[in-house]
Structure 1
Amino acid sequence: METKIRTVIVDDEPHGRDELKFLLSEYREMEIVGEAESGEKGLEVIIKKEPDVVFLDIEMPQMSGMELAQSLKNMKKVPLIIFATAYPDYATKAFRVQALDYILKPFDEDQLKETVEVVKARLNIQGAAGRSVRRGSKLAVEDDGRIIYLSPNEITYLFREERETIICTKDRQYRAKLPIKDLEVKLNGYPFFRTHKSYLVNLEKVEELIPWFNGAYQVKVEGKKEEIPVSRNYVKELRERMEL
């Protein structure tokens, strides 16, 4: 039986809800279990339905999307948050409340597809074709015109630099055009963790977690002098993943 991703949509504009429902209907894994036209109603629906993911507008009267996302952090089962908004200026704040992703209206179908893949990767759900990343699979990267196949176990961390993603092994660096979001999907099934919006770290390579400032941390990975940033929003989950 195929696993369904229980989904709630919260948006004060009926057209916005209808458009998102229509687009998500293309993905049979996504099951719309509820919707709401306000933050207050959204909270009620989310508590009742206990969804896996919430698509959440930001600009709403009374309780804003940001306020609702903040209140959800107190739930026993915290859903993944995808902000779906017409306002690009909230992106930084969105990630401060641990939003998984941020998509803009009018919705771009390719961007939404990427978002659905990231949701599936975070929930460790196979795609519609029943394929998942297999142990032993390799990541293809270009290097001076050649295709190099890297075992995910060789990778210590990845980070975004301008329009490229830098893939670091113990001894070398490789450059890829794919964004971290896509590489995170490809590496689903391996112990990689997003410590920051621009960094993805192999947890098996982490040696130290170092306090930094304002609740943020840095990690050190084996074989590297660089210290990798950990947003304070990800510290708790990182420790849960790392510790017995």
Structure 2
Amino acid sequence: MVDDKIRACVIEDEETARQSLVKALNKLNDFEVVCSDGSVDGGVKAIIENEPQLIFLDIKLFGGDAFLLLDELRRRDFDIPPVVIITGFTKFEYAKKVFNEYKNEVITILEKPFWEDWEIKINSILEKYYESSPVLNTKIYDNKIIINEKNKSLIINTDDIDYFAIRKVKNGLGRLHIYTKTKEYTTNKSLKLLENDLPPNFIRINRYEVLNFNKVYEIDRKSDTVFLKGIKDGFSIGRPYKEPVYVFLGLK
């Protein structure tokens, strides 16, 4: 069963502050820190590789600042998860500028020192995070996907799923959608996190889509396009994913 903790990443240039925040978050039942760094380049790399669900981001970083890091993620067309800006009192006005210019990504500001009213600050962050997430929790168990919403739980058999796809929503954030023949569901879990727990017939064909290959009826190898039963449009295989897809099919 998939852990319900929020996968967090801490990007903070002050090593002591970074380690303290990582340790404090990991002590809570709500978070699992999956990556941390102190620079723009290292932060971008860590975020893309680990696909966290929440980023704690300091204003000042080695090699630049929060603006530069967020701009680079946008340039790479990365679906930026909710962001908590970290700042000290002297940089608060600068933090508000980031908050205003990146209002689609930044959900709140965490002021230093962290430990003043720590419980209140964390509860506020959790509230803002869940406000930005249409679905609270998603689990995979015994070939079933369980989506826990506020007032009900939805259970989907993986055999009924055609594909998973990240789609943009109005506020610019990427959300993972689950498509069956008759319905569409939304979850705030990352594609990478779900992919690791899916049955082996689910294969990632590009950065944004995972297909149920039990539903595939044709593959155009000339255009690297996959076609699913009952769906008119094809799905393009991304270049980095081409070899593993064809290995799975026994074509290499």
TM-score by length of 2: 0.48
